[in-house]
């Protein structure tokens, strides 16, 4: 499991959560991704069956909306150049 060192959470005007993650060229391409959330300030993004990314210290509003979300959008990008490498929707599993 890796720890997301830098990410942003955006709430769209339709209250859709968008997680913008710093792309890592060391990580494999997403395959069957999903997000696990247990109601705390942390969520776990399973990018592949063998690659998980901890999203730590969620903002209060993001945590609240995530508690009701069934799906979120993930964007992986180079922050320096704003180049998007991957964008995909994931189902939210509540535990």
The whole model's pTM is what? 0.94
pLDDT of residue 15: 82
Tens digit of pLDDT for each residue in 37-62? 999 999 999 999 999 999 999 999 99
Total domains present in the chain:
1
Q: Is residue 1 very low, low, confident or very high in pLDDT (cuts 50, 70, 90)?
A: confident
Chain centre to alpha carbon of residue 82: 17
Average pLDDT, integer, range 22-46 = 95
Domain span holding position 68: 2-94
């Amino acid at each position: 499991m890796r720890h997301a060192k830098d990410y942003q959470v955006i709430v769209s005007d339709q209250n859709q959560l968008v997680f913008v993650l710093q792309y890592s060229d060391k990580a494999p391409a997403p395959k069957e991704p999903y997000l696990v959330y247990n109601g705390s300030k942390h969520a776990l993004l399973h990018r592949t069956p063998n690659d998980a990314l901890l999203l730590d210290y969620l903002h209060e509003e993001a945590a609240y909306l995530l508690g009701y979300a069934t799906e979120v959008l993930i964007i992986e990008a180079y922050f320096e150049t704003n180049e998007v490498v991957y964008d995909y929707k994931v189902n939210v599993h509540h535990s």
